[in-house]
Structures are given as structure tokens and as C-alpha cells.
Amino acid sequence: MGRQPGFFDADARLAALSAAGDPLERLRAVVDFELFRPDLEAAIARGDRSRGGRPPYDAVLMFRILVLQTLYTLSDDQTEYQLRDRLSFMRFAGLALHDAVPDAKTIWLFREQLTRTGALSRLFERFDALLRERGYLAMGGQIVDATVVQARRPHLSKDEKQTIREGGIPSGWSKARTRQVDRDGRWTIKRGRKAPPPEGVQRQAAAEIAVPMFGYKNHIGIDRAHGFIRRFTVTHAARHDGSQLTAVLDPANTASDVWADTAYRGQANLAVLAKRGLVAQFQRAKPRGRPMPPHIARGNATRARVRSRVEHVFAATKVRMGLVVRTIGLARATAKITLANLAYNLTRLAWWQCRGAPA
């Protein structure tokens, strides 16, 4: 015969989660989310309560829910379900067992309000200011790069694609069709090479792999010392990486070195860095039709040991968080990617705090 649930059963479960090392509890202990309340309250339109009605959910509570959704790649419906199902999620959000859980529509509406008011970029800037206050200054130089964030692929004819590229709407499209097709995202080609064969296997010329991808690009700049994202911008996927260099350079970085791959090595970018007193630590491309000179290969290897740190950021957002864009349009894609960048910085701060004081 089953035992009747006791009053302290939930507390015992939460204590067991804490003893096992709940990462969400550690994150909430490190980050005071009340920091974001002024920007959240300013962005959220509150209705006239004089005629009664259900009181709105707390803005900070809703923002913590968006952080959960980003960290665990959840849809709005799955976020609602997991908040009801998981004690660790409830504790992080600030919900008790008897509290009402925001439904999927409420979560969508809250995120949509933040998107329309541009509040997410202000939240990112406010947290960056907190990092500086805590001693995590942008130091050691900066590393810039970009990655493609895939979105839902539209199925269009050649003529429809051309019309959209020119900024128009194909003739014959209904209002529903116009809303359901992402006209801001673009196609690009992701190039790479096959992995080299193992020892003892006959080597052949490395075949280049070209993978078509549709979506947006997350252009970021991180500081070398602490690995926080300091600047970022979002464009469609076909935008050249090097064209966004000035948008991701952090003028507050205390060092002058800037690391980047060969896509950023252009005369215009080099001139910008020279004008700002910055030193370009850019990779050099292999000469066409000739082998790579040994001195260039050695220089690339030395720079790659620093530049590769930015790949850890992309691995965290795209692999661990599973970052993809399921929405329509650049504005919502920017909101999704901004939340991912902010969530990465939140977890990065928790990691640093576990290690001790900033360098």
C-alpha cells in the first residue's frame, strides 16, 4: 500500500537535487536576475487593472523561463510541460508546487513583446556592464568569427527566390503564404574537407565538402581572457563574415590584438584596424595552385591556438543548446540568437565563479 505524500517530500527531492549538483541552482545563485527588472518592466505593456482580471506574471519570472527555454532548446509547449514536470525547472523559475504555470501562449507573447521593443539587446548590454563591475573586463585582445544558424528551409521556385532576393513578394501569394515563408533568411554554402584517413591508409587528395544551408549568421566577438561574448550582430546567412568586423569589435578591450580567420583579411578591414590602433592577427590563405609556405603554416598554427577559442562558444550554443531558428523573419531570429548569446554568458559567468575570482 502506497504511502500518503508528506508535506516535506518536495523539499527532500529538491535537497537531493542540490546535493547532486543542480546546475540551474548554481546559475541562479551566481546571477541576480533582479538586475534585469528595470528593462523588462519598461518593455512589457501592462493593461489597465482597474476593471479586474488575472494579475500578470512577474516579468523576472518570465525572463527566467525564457533562459530555461534557451538552455534546453524547448518549444513553448514543451516549456510549459517541463515547468509542470521538473522540480529543478520550477525552482529556477521561482514557482512553487501550488503556483500557476504560464501556458505556451503566455510565454510566446512575453518573448514577442521583448522582440518588438528591442529589449533583449538592452538586457545583453546590462549583463555585460555587470561583468565589468565584477571584474571580468574585456582583456587579452579579442577573437571574432561567425557561424550559420539554420532556419526552416522554404520550398520556392527559381522565380520566387529571385523576387524575394530583390525585396519583393511573389505574385499570387496569399497573406497566409506570405506569413509562413521566411523571406529574410538566405542560402549559403558551408565548405569543409573530409577528415584525413587514419595511419596506414593510403592518402588521397582531400575532397572538399559543400553543404547548402539556409538561415542566419551569428557574428560575435569574444575577449581572449575570459571568453565572454562582448559584441554581436545578426545577419542573413549569405552576408560575408568580413563585412561585419566593425560591428563586433569591442572598443573597451584593453589589448590591441584581433584574431580572425582569412575571411576578415581585406584591405578595408586592415585599414580600420590600423586607424583604431589595433593589430590584425588574421589567418593567411594558401596560395592558389602552390603549396603552403612553411613560414605561413607556422604562423597560422600559432594564431589558430588562440583563434580556436571562439569555436568553443559556437559549440556551446549550437551543440549543447541546440540553437536553431524556428521562427519567421530577421527580427525574431535576432531575438532567438540574442537569447542564446546571453544564456551563454550567464553560464560562462557561473563557470568562472566556480573557478574563483577573475584574473
Q: What is the pLDDT of residue 1?
A: 47
Cβ burial of 100 (10 Å; 0-12, 13-18, 19+) is exposed
Per-residue pLDDT band for 40 (boundaries 50, 70, 90) equals: very high
Find how far residue 9's CA is from the centre of its chain: 37
Per-residue pLDDT band for 127 (boundaries 50, 70, 90) equals: very high
Specify the range with the lowest mean pLDDT, choosing from 157-161, 235-239, 349-353. 157-161
Q: How many other CB atoms sit within 10 Å of the CB of residue 342?
A: 25
Domain ranges across the chain? 9-46+55-117, 138-355
pLDDT, mean of residues 30-56: 83
Per-residue pLDDT band for 357 (boundaries 50, 70, 90) equals: low
CA distance 318 to 76: 19
Residue 346 is placed in which grid cell? Answer: 550567464
Whether the predicted pLDDT of 7 surpasses 60: no
**240 vs 3, residue with greater confidence:** 240
CA distance 198 to 138: 41
Whether the predicted pLDDT of 62 surpasses 80: yes
Q: How many other CB atoms sit within 10 Å of the CB of residue 207?
A: 7
Say what percent of the chain tops pLDDT 70: 91
Q: What is the CA radius of gyration of the chain?
A: 24
pLDDT, mean of residues 131-155: 95
What are the two backbone dihedrals, phi and then psi, of residue 56, each rounded to the nearest 5 degrees?
A: -70, 155
Q: Assess contact for 315 and 303: CB atoms under 8 A.
A: no
SS3 content of the chain, % helix, strand, coil (to 5): 50, 15, 35
- Digit-coded pLDDT (tens) for 276-289: 999 999 999 988 88
